[in-house]
A and B are shown apart, each in its own frame.
Chain A
Amino acid sequence: MKRSGDSQYTYYAYWSAFLVPSVRVRKVSFEVESGTPLDVALYKEGLTSYRSSVKFGRPRGIADASVDYGDNLCVQVTGEGLVDPTRYRVVRDVEVTFGNRATAGSRMSGRLRRFFGAGFQNNLFMRGGVGWDVTRRVITGSANLEKISHFRPPELSKVEFLKVSNLIVGGGLAGLGVAAALDASGRDFALVESSGVPGGRVEIARRLLNAAPSTYATDDDSAQVSSLLRLVESGSAAFRSGRGRLIEGTFCGFYEEKIGVVLCSEGAIAVSFDNIIFANGRRSPVPLLRGNDLPGVISIDYAARLAAHRALRGKTLLYSEDKWGSLVGRLIAACGADIEEFVQSDRAKIASILGQRRVEAVVFTDGRRKPLSNFVYATFRQPALELPAQAGVGYSWVAAADALRADVSADGSTALPWLWAVGSVTGLCELEASYHHGLAAGYALSQDDGKSRAELKLVSVRGGAGAPTARSADAFICRCEDVMVSDFEAAARKGLIEPEKIKRFTGWGTGVCQGKHCLYNGLRTLARDGASPYTQRLPITPTPFAALASLGDSAK
């Protein structure tokens, strides 16, 4: 398997008859528990900085997966069916090849971009003639991924076509609420949940609670998680009647024909539906601090995943603006991780994150330095709008609240009668309230208006607002396309102030994360009340051609 030119960065694997799967790195193999996500396994071995940027020569570790677990990984997995293509779970011995280290072109174009900013190709010296010829070569030489012929498709054995009346996207409390109400009314449904286990955020908390020695978690925290778990349990009962089906996989969006595509471990599923209900929650955007692109800057959700596998190592600072984030932080601490919560105040503010190839320290505005291995952020959560927005649900930025709000009525219905959004993806409610919001929508879908109204009464609208965060000019807004706050300023100087135009000028939101994180930070930087995001494009999760083609083949 050895190829010339990338010996240092080729990871060897071997087949073995043992039950414990192993990954081999630089001729050193390590064993992992079966089912461990590949990124977690590598993180655990300290292999976070082995992969360099796809372009622009910036070091990006496996920890980049914090953006969206497997979604943003550019790891190439070879071998047959060894690793789940959506979540890269190690189930047998693994043969993995990472892309080469940053190419010279990548490093150079990174410098060009750093120096001239976005749109650097318009510079007088680079926009025509020999200057452009050279620049073009630098840019085209900058992609880091393997050449095409080295790619091998993941083994996709499964092609399935499914028809349901109601398709629920997201198995957190809101999605479970919808499922419970539909089941109680005798309606059929399918629920897509990427982890395969319903519960969403609560499920992550449960795993941490289980991993922690009981004496460490506080009674209050345990009690809060337990009461939420009871809701998860009553919602999960919906799957017992057989009217509903739980699909494990990543929902990649749906098309004009009302067919959704789900990417799962073994292949792809096409689901045609009459109604679709988005319950895909919200997430924390990365703080706009200098150094926010370094490996080791990870979201609280990802930190929780690492901690549950005991892979969160070294000194960790939790930058918290969110109550739920603080709770998860305490659970992580209870699991034995060295994590310390930090709440920004007038007296103590973080100025920047420092590090060469990964996080090494944070610097406070008063000049104090604190050495670190991980910087975990639990910022004010924003609706995971990529799915509802793709489907036509409007969102707009409310500057005073520092948050996105959806054009959704109180019960979750939208302008399209067959399209609903429930729970925290609407920006209206979360956790317990989300469950009731889901129930209300589920009953409304079953034409049971009395029950729907009763549940709506239990929904408390959350009015909270995010704390205005620091914004340094060289903080990254978009980490896939290397767009910084200063690039937005450059766009404004050129008269480009609308999201659509800025997207086209800087590349903001067009990378492989499909804007899942950078959208908020972009709108926050624009700071324009009522600004609506750029048009969201399909597929919401980059999908291997092999999966899409298998659906096409079977249609023939």
Chain B
Amino acid sequence: MSDYDVIIVGGGGVGLSTAYHLAKKGLRVCIIEKNYLGSGSSTRNAGGFRVHFKAEENVRYMVAGRKKLLSLPKETGWNVTPITGGYFWVLHNEQAMQEFRELNRMWASQGVAGQLLGGKEVKERLPMLELGATVGGFFGPQDGGFHHDLVVFGYQAAIRRLRVDVREYSPVSGIIVEGGKVTGAKVGSREIRGEKLVICAGAWTPTISRLAGVDIPISAERREMGVTEPIKFFLRPFVIIPSEGVYFAQGLRGEIRGTVTDLKTEGLVPLVSTYAWTVEYARRLLRVFPGMAGVRFNRQWSGYYEMTPDHSHIMGRGNAWPEGLYVAAGFSGHGMMMSPITGELMAEHVSGDTTPQLMLPFSPDRFAEGKPVRELMVF
């Protein structure tokens, strides 16, 4: 007899959301987290959401995901404090403009068309920036920002109400497989028995899956970011400047948070801050935004992107895997915005063994089958 119907390994946004939706279906759920809930990457990200991806599968996924994210306060009782100010891409070459023009046709077909803007219009809408020879921009009004901590807190409160068993500070040391079927997990010498096991361990997913003899192509990338002291609110959209490799947005407190997109360190390296990133971010930010010179940089931190070969998440189960083993990970920098919808889909998949249409393209076997998603818009 198992203690639980489903064991979830990893208490970040995705794990919590999956636990919540499974428990709502009346299943007995246990969630095992090696540190505290949200301690991995869920409380370390930039807090943006967007529907504008390069791969149509991801667009479709996030059109549903956005709705789910914005309705979260109704479900959990915790406001995720959305700022629906859109994403603003500032483009510096005609080739990029052309690319966005083409993409916008695909986005329009999904009902999320954005606005293509000329260089003059971009400067008018972002008067505080020093944009140089910009040729134009793209504004996605459907996108915006939210606060990741409140997603975690919301689910934490909701699963407490649903009596999900939460085990914090419990690193999983083994996965028990008997007769080709997962029957539980080990935490130290303790065995926790469950019918099914879902790995939602973000960047740590391969380490966990290997305990069951399964390789999942996810690699960690350390990224850094930081926020300033609060200043008067003036910047609604999330601004991305690909040619400078920098993005930034203003949060509810008035803080400007942002980072450079091309400085990263591969692997599960210690989550510390680097001098190289700090001075480079300051340098690039001031080049496009000289008005920030006197603003003080207040806090910085680092976290992992959990990258897959095609920069899209992996969810479901592989055909050759032990029975009862599932995964939802590898979100390649988009985990928090996708976590509410992912949990809902995973709960359907795990409890009923049907595969919802939306998650079909993201199966773990797609790499072996030669059907990658090819998402290139990762910042």
Contact = CB atoms under 8 A, between A and B. Distances in A.
Interface of A: 54-55, 74, 76, 121-122, 126-128, 132, 136, 139-149, 151-154, 255-257, 259, 261, 270, 494-496, 498, 500-501, 504-505, 507, 510, 512, 514, 535, 537-539, 542-546, 548-549, 551-553, 555-556
Given A132-B79, A144-B232, A148-B234, A551 B291 contact: no
Interface stretch (B47-55, B108-116, B176-184, B269-277): B269-277
Given A126-B79, A128-B74, A143-B253, A546 B294 contact: yes
A148 B128 contact: yes
Contacts of A255: 272-276, 278
Given A143-B230, A510-B299, A538-B299, A545 B36 contact: no
16 contacts: A76-B294, A143-B253, A145-B229, A146-B231, A148-B231, A148-B295, A151-B291, A153-B294, A256-B270, A256-B273, A259-B275, A504-B153, A507-B253, A539-B298, A544-B294, A545-B292
Contact of A552 (B74, B128, B279): B279
Nearest to A151: B294
A144 B77 CA distance: 30
Nearest to A501: B36
A148 B253 contact: no
A500 B149 CA distance: 11
Most chain B Cβ neighbours within 10 Å, of A126, A136, A548, A556:
A548
Given A55-B230, A256-B273, A545 B293 contact: yes
Nearest to B152: A504
Interface string B214-249: 000000000000001111111000000000000000
A71 to B, nearest CB: 10
A140 B299 contact: no
Nearest to A120: B79
B162 to A, nearest CB: 14
B296 interface: yes
A512 B255 CA distance: 11
Contact of A546 (B82, B233, B286, B300): B286
A146 B232 contact: yes
Contacts of A144: 232
B174 interface: no
B252 A549 contact: no
Nearest to B127: A149
A462 B1 CA distance: 57
A349 B299 CA distance: 38
Contacts of A136: 81, 83, 252
B301 interface: yes
Nearest to A272: B275
Contacts of A146: 231-232
A147 B230 CA distance: 11
B73 A127 contact: yes
A495 B233 contact: no
A546 B293 contact: yes
Contacts of A55: 230, 253-254
Contact of A148 (B38, B274, B281, B292): B292
Nearest to A503: B149
A88 to B, nearest CB: 13
9 interchain residue pairs of minimum CB distance:
A552-B279, A552-B283, A153-B293, A143-B254, A548-B282, A542-B296, A127-B79, A255-B275, A140-B233
Contacts of B253: 55, 139, 143, 507
Contact of A496 (B39, B153, B281): B153
Given A145-B230, A496-B153, A122 B296 contact: no
B321 interface: no
Contacts of B228: 542, 545
Interface string B53-97: 000000000000000000001100111011100000000000000
B204 to A, nearest CB: 18
B254 A543 contact: no
B157 interface: yes
Interface of B: 36, 38-39, 43, 73-74, 77-79, 81-83, 128, 149-150, 153, 156-157, 160, 228-234, 252-254, 270, 272-276, 278-283, 285-286, 289, 291-301
A512 B296 contact: yes
A54 B298 CA distance: 15
Given A122-B77, A256-B274, A545-B285, 16 more contacts: A55-B253, A122-B150, A140-B233, A145-B232, A148-B128, A151-B295, A152-B293, A255-B274, A255-B276, A259-B275, A270-B275, A505-B149, A507-B253, A537-B273, A545-B228, A546-B294
Contacts of A498: 36
Most chain A Cβ neighbours within 10 Å, of B77, B82, B157, B229:
B229
A152 B293 CA distance: 7
Contacts of B286: 545-546, 549
Contacts of B276: 255, 257
A548 B279 contact: yes
B81 A538 contact: no
A257 B274 contact: yes
Given A148-B231, A539-B297, A128 B73 contact: yes
B273 A538 contact: yes
A495 B157 contact: yes
Nearest to B227: A510
Contact of B79 (A121, A141, A153, A510): A121
A255 B279 CA distance: 11
Contacts of A544: 293-297
B230 A54 contact: yes
Contacts of A256: 270, 272-275
B97 to A, nearest CB: 27
Most chain B Cβ neighbours within 10 Å, of A136, A143, A145, A261:
A143
B125 to A, nearest CB: 15
A282 to B, nearest CB: 23
Contact of A512 (B229, B274, B282): B229
B249 to A, nearest CB: 13
A539 B79 contact: no
A126 B78 CA distance: 10
Contacts of B149: 504-505
A549 B287 CA distance: 9
A556 B276 CA distance: 11
A122 B79 contact: yes
A26 B149 CA distance: 44
A127 B278 CA distance: 35
Contacts of B293: 151-153, 544-546, 549
A542 B297 contact: yes
Nearest to A496: B153
A127 B299 contact: no
Contacts of B77: 122, 127
Given A144-B232, A495-B156, A542-B229, A257 B299 contact: no
B274 A548 contact: no
A539 B278 CA distance: 10
Nearest to A150: B291
